[in-house]
Amino acid sequence: MGSIDWNGEFVAFFLLSVLMITGSVLMVSFTKVVHMVLSMAAVFLGVGGMFIMLDAEFLAFVQVLIYAGAVSILMIFGIMMTNHREAAGESTKPLRETLAAVAAIALFGLLFFVIQAADFTDNSGAAPPPAADNTRAIGELLFHGYIVPFELVSVLLTVAFIGAIVLARKEAE
C-alpha cells in the first residue's frame, strides 16, 4: 500500500468528500423535507468544490449557482406551497434496514479494497498540459450566438414557475 502525501490538495479533497458523503447520508436519513433539501445543498456545494480542484471554475460556478442555489430554493418554495401532513403510524422494517446496512458495508468494503489495489500512477512522466480557461468562450457563444434561445428558455421557465404558483394557490382555496 502506498503512503499518503498530506498536502493541501489532499486535505481539501478529503474535507469535500466528507461533506458530500455526510450530506448524502443525511439526505436519505432525514424525515423532514426541508432538512433533506439543506443536506442536498451541502452535497452540491461539495461537488462545486471538487470542480474547483479540477480547474473547472465555470462548472463550479454553475454547480453552485444553479444547483445549490436555484434548485434548492425552488424545492423549498415548492415545499412551502404544498400541504404536508406527517405520516402517522409509519413503521420501520428492521429486516430491511439491517439488509440495507449490510449491503452498504459490503459495498464500502468492496470499493475500499478495489481502490487500494488500483494503480493510479502516471507512467508517461510528462506533466499534464495547463488547463485552458474556456469560460469566456462559453459566455461569448451563449450571449452572441445563442441569445434568442437563451432568452426564450428563461421566459419559458418563468411562465412555468408562475403557472405552478397559480395552480398551487387554486388548490389551497
User: Would you state the pLDDT for residue 31?
Assistant: 84
User: Would you state the pLDDT for residue 26?
Assistant: 93
Amino acid letter at 116? Q
User: Would you state the pLDDT for residue 84?
Assistant: 60
Alpha-carbon dihedral sign for residues 90, 94, 99, 105: positive
Alpha-carbon dihedral sign for residues 138, 61, 20, 69: negative
Name the stretches of the chain with pLDDT < 50.
Answer: none
Q: Taking the model in full, what pTM does it have? A: 0.58
- Which residues, 6+ apart, have CB-to-CB distance to 10 below 8 Å? 4
User: Would you state the pLDDT for residue 172?
Assistant: 59
- Cell 425552488 locates to 74
